[in-house]
């Protein structure tokens, strides 16, 4: 299984390198904001290769998605902790309600 993952990673890396080599042309980015006329807010213009823009967009998507995933994971861990505490509390209550009766079957002790 490790070899398959390594092979797939190498294939993805080679495709990304070939993509970057073939998309070297420069593109000028312009951001249009309603407050663009104010001199205190200025986004520096410049030309970037197409592959950097695309790879940057993919990276930004991973960061945003990963942040959402981390939030969901922490929320699920909190719910799991609360549920475990509730289970422990209910098990203690069951044990206190059973009492130490001698006539209980062996599987209930």
pLDDT at 48 over 90: no
How many angstroms separate the CA atoms of 55 and 16, rounded? 9
What band does 11 get if pLDDT is binned at 50, 70 and 90? very high
**Backbone torsions φ then ψ of 61, nearest 5 degrees:** -65, -40
pLDDT of 102 above 90: no
**63 Cβ contact list (under 8 Å, min separation 6):** none
Predicted local distance difference test score (pLDDT) of residue 68: 93
Mean pLDDT of the chain: 84
Q: What is the mean pLDDT of residues 84-109?
A: 79
- Measure the CA–CA gap between 10 and 18, rounded to whole angstroms: 12
């Amino acid at each position: 299984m490790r070899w398959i993952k390594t092979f797939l990673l190498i294939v993805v890396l080679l495709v990304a390198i070939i993509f970057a080599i073939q998309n070297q042309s420069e593109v000028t980015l312009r951001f249009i904001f309603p407050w663009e006329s104010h001199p205190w807010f200025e986004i520096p213009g410049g030309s970037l290769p197409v592959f950097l823009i695309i790879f940057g967009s993919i990276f930004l998507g991973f960061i945003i998605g990963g942040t959402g995933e981390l939030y969901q994971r922490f929320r699920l861990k909190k719910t799991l902790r609360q549920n475990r505490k509730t289970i422990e509390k209910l098990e203690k209550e069951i044990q206190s309600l059973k009492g130490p009766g001698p006539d209980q079957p062996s599987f209930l002790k």
